[in-house]
Amino acid sequence: MSSSELPKVAVAELLAQKISALDAARLPDAVRRKCEDLLVDVVGLAVTARNEDYVKAALAACDGDGPCTAIGHARTLSAAGAALVNGTAIHGEDFDDTFEGGPIHAGAVIVPAVLAACERHGCDGHAALVGIAVGVETMCRLSTVAPTLTHKAGFHPTAVFGAMGAAAGVGAALKLKPKQMVDALGTAASMASGIIEYLAEGAWTKRLHAGWAAQSGLRAALLGRAGFSGPRTVFEGVHGFFHGFAHTTEGDYDALIGDFGARWVTETLAFKPYPCGTMTHPYIDCARRLGQRIKAADVVEMECDVGEGTVHRLWEPLAAKQKPANGYAGKFSTPYCIAAGFIRGNVGLGDFTDAAVRDAAVLALAGKVRYRIDPQNPYPRNFTGHICATLRDGTVVEERQPYMRGGAQEPLTRADIEDKFLLNARHGGWSADHASAALQLARTVFDGPVTLSALRG
């Protein structure tokens, strides 16, 4: 597409028009409930990580104080600082929500960006609800325009789609006009970033990606509101977003804008039962059931059928995945997660410490875990698990998991999510009273002024 062939109406303009036309009062009940669930979940995740070294480092690196809440901390920050710290904390333990079609983690980006904007600019809970719904919907839909190609290009989809979703969400909360929204989206694409080299040694950068995307989208929305010009052909242009991050301009843009506002993929957002890479979850379920049927000492090999798109992040190099470098690297090792679930009977936050991933019994079993690519595997449309365990006597024992628990086919209930919140708050060192007050606030943020002081400390 040359400059002489630019479209009369660009994809970003169509998206901005659809966002502007939304009637906030007519959001489907299911979307509101999902946004309420999301808010409860992410607040608990920010609290559970508040004392971790990577959160302390992110907080210490912020040099701008202001009126906005860093969840779990007494210090208040600028809006951008709060978005950065909260997004980093929420995504830090990889226990946050997932959109199965992406896969991406929307809540850790969109909620911090929108809450910070609302707290700083005096928006009410109604604006926060609209902003979160629009931001999540935009981010999730973007991940389906060119499925799997962003990962293949070496980028973290949560990071790059997150900046765009946050710009849309904050823009909706602040009631940007369509031209301002187009400018915000055009600018956000130049702020988007996030490579996946953290996989090499379990570095912290993935944790930062959600927070960086949140503050980038927030800044882009404010620039758009102020009249700063961005390219309207940001998505489909020859040098545009998808060209840069997916190495194509031939995406399915109808997946983004076709029925935006009429059908909400936000309703299908999944909540995690395990604090690790999403695609490991069905295999953990299989491993836990196998651990109840057979003994680790009898296992010769455990072979897993997997989707090709998961191999480079969760399976290779296999020797390194069978012996993770540290606790964080263990979160992105399917062999380790399988072995931990088999040996320990469950997988929780305590299974991803540096000490936990050196457990000799777990590592011995992880060393027996292999994979084979199944060309019929439905990833990324659905996350499944299949393990064949071969025993010393030649017996083969199999387990299958047809979907991710916590996802669209077996969603967590509100009670499940609130139980998870309370466990996370306890893990983060909050008293029962503090956790109860924070939970009550999280339940009601959308009903009045956005006042988040109960989430501090």
pLDDT in tens, 120-179: 999 999 999 999 999 999 999 999 999 999 999 999 999 999 999 999 999 999 999 999
- Looking at residue 200, its pLDDT comes to 87
Upstream peptide bond of 103 is cis (omega within 30 degrees of 0): yes
Distance CA(442)–CA(38), nearest Å, equals 9
**CA–centroid distance for 223 within its chain:** 25
The DSSP-derived string for 154-168 is: TB-HHHHHHHHHHHH
Other residues' Cβ atoms within 10 Å of the Cβ of residue 413? 10
Q: Which two tokens stand for residue 418?
A: 């609130």
Distance in angstroms between the alpha carbons of the first and the last residue of the chain: 53
- The alpha carbon of 208 is separated from its chain's Cα centroid by a whole number of angstroms, namely 12
Collapse the DSSP code of 288 into the 3-class scheme (helix H, G, I; strand E, B; otherwise coil) and give the result: helix
pLDDT band at 199 (very low <50, low <70, confident <90, very high): confident
Residue 440's CB is within 10 A of a number of other CB atoms, namely 10
What does the pLDDT read at residue 380? 85
pLDDT in tens, 263-274: 999 999 999 999
Dihedral class, residue 9 (left if φ above 0, else alpha if ψ from -120 to 50, else beta): beta
**Nearest C-alpha neighbor of 342 from the set 278, 402, 385, 394:** 385
Contact 411, 425 (CB under 8 A): no
Question: E strands within 263-418?
Answer: 299-306, 369-373, 385-391, 396-401
For residues 106 and 139, the answer to whether their CB atoms sit within 8 Å is: yes
Mean pLDDT, residues 393-421: 95
Question: pLDDT tens across 84-93, in order?
Answer: 999 999 999 9
Q: What pairs with residue 371 in β-bridges?
A: 304
pLDDT in tens, 47-96: 999 999 999 999 999 999 999 999 999 999 999 999 999 999 999 999 99
Q: What is the dihedral of CA 452, 446, 183, 237, to 10 degrees?
A: 110
Confidence of residue 103 (pLDDT cuts 50, 70, 90): confident
Token pair listed for 273:
């039962």
Per-residue model confidence (pLDDT) at position 169: 98
Q: Is 229 a residue whose pLDDT tops 60? A: yes
**Residue 23 pLDDT more than 90?**
no
Q: Tell me: the pLDDT tens digits for 334-389?
A: 999 999 999 999 999 999 999 999 999 999 999 999 999 999 999 888 999 999 99
What is the value of pTM for the model shown? 0.94
